Amino acid sequence: MFEINTLATIFAALMGVSILLYAILDGYDLGVGILLPLEQADNSDTMIASIGPFWDANETWLVLAIGLLLIAFPVAHSYVFEALYLPTAILLISLVLRGVAFDFRAKAAFSHKPTWNKVFKAGSLLAALSQGYMLGMYVMGFESSMTAYCFSMLSAFGVAAAYSYIGACWLIMKTEGALQIQAVNWAKKAGWICFFGVLLVSIVNPLINADVYAKWFTWPVTLYILPLPLLCFILFAVSYRVLQNLPKTEDRHCWLPFCLTVIIFTLCFIGLAFSFFPYIVPGKLTIWETASAPESLSFILWGAIVVIPVIASYTAFSYRVFWGKVQELRYH
Amino acid sequence: MFETLMLSRIQFAANISFHILFPTITIALSWFLFFFKLRFDQTADPVWMRAYRFWVKIFAITFAIGVVSGITMSFQFGTNWPKFMETVGNIAGPLLGYEVLTAFFLEAGFLGIMLFGINRVSAKVHTLSTLIVAFGTTLSSFWILALNSWMQTPQGHEMRGGVAFPVDWLAIIFNPSFPYRLSHMLLASGLTAAFLIAGISAYRLLKGDDKRAPKLTLKIALSVAMVLTPLQIFVGDLHGLNTLKHQPQKIAAMEGIWHTEKSAPLLLFAIPDEKNKRNTFELAIPAMASFILTHDFNGEIKGLNEFEGNHPPVKPVFYAFRVMVGLGMLMLLLAWLARIQLWRKDKLPRWLLKILVMMSFSGWIGTLAGWYVTEIGRQPWLVTGVLTVKDAATTIAPGNVALSLSLYLLLYLVLMVAYLHTIFTMASRAIEIEEISETEQQPSLNQASINATLAQE
């Protein structure tokens, strides 16, 4: 039905969308975890309640993204995760810790609750840091040099800041009162760090990768692609301006920072994807070289075409059910 | 000893052993929850909501550990077994992909509504969400067992240049061992959940909980166990016959048969001696193994001598098989004894309740023992006849694997202690809750009794 190159492109796109959705969705709930104020028990409960019904489904996008890499580009999957063996192990352990802390904190004897809150915060932070580190190593082509390690460390903090940013914006949308005001402040600070992070990656990425430089600065492509980072930086400024005026009466525009952050995430992702396509391992393996057999990809593609709209519709349903300001979370 | 291959194997075994404990509970527990919720909708008797609310919390915590420990698996294929996906990725990939697409999202998508949405959606939608989560967990086991069974008894593919390519997807999914393995695993899940519910309910009764809910759940769990144990023994026997046909070396190791023989005895106990290729301290029923496996006392069973250099290590398979079967028999005995006692006297003596508490997690031991039989029994192959475990392993430095393995083991230890502690804490706390009040008893609207149970906590 489809020829192999078309299939490889479709699967690369599907994987890209999953990664982006993961970064946005688990991004906000990891961010909420990073921001968790340990000394304020009430706010912690409300913040965790705001992500309670969603985090399971959010993490499923990671499983899908990694699954698609495994299914469609198995050689790249092996290459990437052998190169990132220890950061991957740390990421997984952090995700496990924070996932179980979410449930244990609600159910363990009360005296343990502060401990599980700490585990939840530490797990969220460590998960974000290791994802950022992995992203940094990926951009650097898994080089083992001092520059690569330093860049990856910066990238780790950048991603943690980005998740805090979107997490704070989520809280502005889902909470009210003092916590909402606190969230606005968090969003402003995290926004600044995030802005510098994106700026840094935008400068470093073309400087260290000759291929990336050639891609961005070839006339007339530059003309079409350069508005992308410009728009991104403008949105940072707009978002900051919006945050300065929040909260407004009747809670108008409380959803705006979150939507702007989603667009910023999307633009950053498109920028990275454009830099590396068609490489799946920068400078080494392309999607054409690593794609699985067309008969396997077709088999799964038909399923995906049917199932993904269904997933989208019941995810939307779930968000509608829990629409509005967060209420106390109770198990039933 | 501690080279990368061995460490990778230990790490994978540790990860998957820890992971499977939790889905084994949730697959069947979700159906129990659906039943509780359905009965509540039908009768408006608040005792069903009590049962639902207590067990849905245990479900939530169990499900969460299952999800997060499962994420680990999707990374491990690449990190520790790179050649696995490179060789059979064309088959394994789509099966895993369908599991994620059709099952994982379904479960996770409706879990939020099931756990936290009862006051936000209608009773029908909530019950339907519970049903969808139950269906999702079962669908998940369908895909992953299809893949596992294909690795045991591969078909429907062809090898081109050392790589497997799919030819017939139906043949791949419905490979010879799949129907048996799927039924065996689903029943194992049913038994694990039934004994967990029975054990925790018995714990509450022992601690002086005199409410209706634990008595009701004890009765339901024992009824289910009474039906499922004989069914499981029957399916297990069929699964064994299927293995004899497709993987005779595994049967030879399970039965400890070193040399092909007619009228092979059934070994109740023995110590296999791998070096001298014989057993010591045999306790046997003559000709019984031949009878069970071939339905003929004179039937011939192939011994390990026929599979020189191509059969699994005997000891672990042999012992694990006996643990599984022994536990199955104990479950059968206990389920019938307790259920009949409950039917005649309407309550259980303390000693029987104590035994049920001890058996709370017996399903875990049985499930693990069973998986060790089938997975170690597959050695030295990863995919029978296609790829050996040795060839699939990573070349990462052993130090890195040793570090990650130590971290995982420490993590699992902490989680296990926290999990068990939390479950028993929850059971103890449930004892202190008041019995359902008179006003609640009136067949009023569902919502009123939900709110009344909420107010109690």
Give the pLDDT score at B1.
42
Residue with structure tokens 């936000």?
A: B120
**CB contact, 8 Å: B162 with chain A?**
no
Chain B residue numbers with beta carbons less than 8 Å from the beta carbon of A86 are 400, 403-404
Tell me how far apart the alpha carbons of residues B321 and B313 are, in angstroms, rounded to a whole number: 13
Cα–Cα distance list, B161 to A315, B128, B147, B158, B165 (Å)? 42, 48, 22, 10, 10
Interface of B with A in 26-55 (CB under 8 A): 52-53
**In whole angstroms, how large is the CA radius of gyration of chain B?**
24
Residue B445 has pLDDT above 60, yes or no: no
Return the percentage of chain B with pLDDT > 70, whole number.
95
Residue with the bigger pLDDT between B307 and A186: it is A186
Return the percentage of chain B with pLDDT > 90, whole number.
37
* B113:A108 CB<8 A: no
Closest CA of chain A from B82, distance in Å: 5
Cα–Cα distance list, B430 to A150, B34, B300, B424, B439 (Å)? 52, 21, 56, 10, 20
Q: Which of B64, B72, B121 sits opposite A321 (nearest CB)?
A: B121
**Which residues lie below 8 Å from residue B270, measured CB to CB, with a gap of 6+?**
B256, B279, B280, B281, B282, B283, B284, B318
Residue B453 has pLDDT above 60, yes or no: no
Residue A27 has pLDDT above 90, yes or no: yes
B394 close to A77: Cβ distance less than 8 angstroms:
no
pLDDT, one tens digit per residue, over A127-157 is 999 999 999 998 888 888 888 888 899 889 9
What global pTM score does this model have?
A: 0.87
* B113:A53 CB<8 A: yes
Closest CA of chain B from A94, distance in Å: 10
Domain count, chain A: 1
Chain A residue numbers with beta carbons less than 8 Å from the beta carbon of B89 are 70-71, 74, 292, 296
Cβ-count burial A44-72 (b if 16+ within 10 Å, e if not): bbbbbbbbbbbbbbbbbbbbbbbbbbbbb
Tell me how far apart the alpha carbons of residues B133 and B27 are, in angstroms, rounded to a whole number: 9
Chain A residue numbers with beta carbons less than 8 Å from the beta carbon of B90 are 292-293, 295-296
* B422:A104 CB<8 A: yes
Closest CA of chain B from A45, distance in Å: 14
B164 close to B158: Cβ distance less than 8 angstroms:
yes
Give the pLDDT score at A300.
86
**CB contact, 8 Å: B60 with chain A?**
yes
Residue B20 has, within 13 A of its CA and on its CB side, a CA count of 24
Helix (H), strand (E), coil (C) string for A125-191: HHHHHHHHHHHHHHHCCCCCCHHHHHHHHHHHHHHHHHHHHHHHHHHHHHCCHHHHHHHHHHHHHHH
Closest CA of chain A from B123, distance in Å: 12
Tell me how far apart the alpha carbons of residues B421 and A104 are, in angstroms, rounded to a whole number: 10
Chain B residue numbers with beta carbons less than 8 Å from the beta carbon of A67 are 74, 96-97, 100
Closest CA of chain B from A314, distance in Å: 7
**CB contact, 8 Å: B118 with chain A?**
yes
Of B19-23, B59-63, B101-105, the least confident: B101-105
Element (H, E) at B282: strand B278-285
Tell me how far apart the alpha carbons of residues B165 and A296 are, in angstroms, rounded to a whole number: 8
Give the pLDDT score at A272.
87
**Which residues lie below 8 Å from residue B190, measured CB to CB, with a gap of 6+?**
B28, B31, B224, B228
Closest CA of chain A from B298, distance in Å: 47
Tell me how far apart the alpha carbons of residues B29 and B322 are, in angstroms, rounded to a whole number: 27
List the single residue in B with minimal CA-CA distance to A109. Answer: B425
A interface test, pick of B40, B81, B84, B104 with most A CB neighbours within 10 Å: B104
Q: For Cα atoms A160, A162, A168, give the angle at the middle one, nearest 5 degrees.
A: 100
Give the pLDDT score at A124.
94
Chain A residue numbers with beta carbons less than 8 Å from the beta carbon of B394 are 82
Give the pLDDT score at A193.
92
- B215-229: average pLDDT: 94
pLDDT, one tens digit per residue, over B171-190 is 999 999 999 999 999 999 99
B253 close to B84: Cβ distance less than 8 angstroms:
no
Give the pLDDT score at B452.
47
Interface of B with A in 391-450 (CB under 8 A): 394-396, 400, 403-404, 407-408, 411, 415, 418-419, 421-422, 425-426, 450
Q: Which of B74, B117, B166 sits opposite A321 (nearest CB)?
A: B117
Tell me how far apart the alpha carbons of residues B254 and B372 are, in angstroms, rounded to a whole number: 11
Q: What is the DSSP string of B206-252?
A: HTT---HHHHHHHHHHHHHHHHHHHHHHHHHHHHHHHHHHH-HHHHH
Chains A, B: CB pairs < 8 Å: 219
Phi-psi region of B247 (alpha: psi -120 to 50; beta: other; left: phi over 0): beta
Closest CA of chain A from B309, distance in Å: 30
Residue with structure tokens 């030819």?
A: B167
Neighbours of B9 (CB within 10 A): 17
* B71:A95 CB<8 A: yes
Interface of B with A in 93-112 (CB under 8 A): 93-94, 96-98, 100-102, 104-112
Give the pLDDT score at A332.
45
* B74:A104 CB<8 A: no
Per-residue tokens: B147: 């893949």
Chain A residue numbers with beta carbons less than 8 Å from the beta carbon of B52 are 332
Residue with structure tokens 């059979």?
A: B88
Range of the domain at A215: 4-321
pLDDT, one tens digit per residue, over A260-314 is 999 999 999 998 888 888 888 887 888 888 888 888 888 888 888 888 888 888 8
Domain boundaries, chain B: 4-235+319-455
Per-residue tokens: A6: 């078309």
* A53:B117 CB<8 A: yes
* A295:B166 CB<8 A: yes
Phi-psi region of B295 (alpha: psi -120 to 50; beta: other; left: phi over 0): left
pLDDT, one tens digit per residue, over B242-290 is 888 888 888 888 888 888 888 888 888 888 888 887 887 878 888 888 8
pLDDT, one tens digit per residue, over A91-121 is 988 988 888 888 888 776 666 788 888 999 9
Chain A residue numbers with beta carbons less than 8 Å from the beta carbon of B398 are none
* A70:B77 CB<8 A: yes
Per-residue tokens: A261: 């952050």
Chain B residue numbers with beta carbons less than 8 Å from the beta carbon of A329 are 116
Tell me how far apart the alpha carbons of residues A149 and A162 are, in angstroms, rounded to a whole number: 20
* A59:B79 CB<8 A: no
**Residue B443, preceding bond cis, omega within 30 degrees?**
no
A293 close to B79: Cβ distance less than 8 angstroms:
no
Tell me the three state secondary structure of residue A72.
Answer: helix
* B93:A56 CB<8 A: no
Residue (of B291, B168, B308) closest to B237 by Cα position: B291
Closest CA of chain B from A25, distance in Å: 13
A60 close to B105: Cβ distance less than 8 angstroms:
yes
Q: For Cα atoms A58, A15, A196, give the angle at the middle one, nearest 5 degrees.
A: 70
- A232-261: average pLDDT: 87
* A71:B118 CB<8 A: no
Give the pLDDT score at B443.
44
Closest CA of chain A from B85, distance in Å: 6
* A92:B400 CB<8 A: no
Number of H helices, E strands in chain A: 14, 2
Give the pLDDT score at A59.
84
Residue B456 has pLDDT above 50, yes or no: no
Neighbours of B395 (CB within 10 A): 9
Reported confidence tier of residue B439, pLDDT bands at 50, 70, 90? low
Chain A residue numbers with beta carbons less than 8 Å from the beta carbon of B419 are 100
Cross-strand pairs, B300: B262
B282 close to B270: Cβ distance less than 8 angstroms:
yes
pLDDT, one tens digit per residue, over B195-213 is 999 999 999 999 888 888 8
Domain assignment present for residue A191? The answer is yes
Residue with structure tokens 């098989």?
A: B321
Neighbours of A37 (CB within 10 A): 15
Tell me how far apart the alpha carbons of residues A173 and A132 are, in angstroms, rounded to a whole number: 25
Cross-strand pairs, B160: B163
Give the pLDDT score at A108.
65
Give the pLDDT score at B171.
93
* B97:A322 CB<8 A: no
Give the N- to C-terminal CA distance of chain B in Å, as an integer: 54
Cα–Cα distance list, B420 to A127, A177, B244, B258, B417 (Å)? 26, 38, 38, 41, 5
Reported confidence tier of residue B457, pLDDT bands at 50, 70, 90? very low
Element (H, E) at B97: helix B82-98
Q: What is the DSSP string of B114-164?
A: HHH-TTTS-HHHHHHHHHHHHHHHHHHHHHHHHHHHHHHS--SEEEETTEE
The torsion of the CA quartet B411, B417, B423, B426, rounded to 10 degrees, works out to: -110
Tell me how far apart the alpha carbons of residues A104 and A116 are, in angstroms, rounded to a whole number: 7
Chain A residue numbers with beta carbons less than 8 Å from the beta carbon of B127 are none
Per-residue tokens: A324: 């509005």
pLDDT, one tens digit per residue, over B38-81 is 999 899 888 898 899 899 989 988 998 888 888 887 777 777 78
* A96:B118 CB<8 A: no
B interface test, pick of A17, A63, A124, A323 with most B CB neighbours within 10 Å: A63
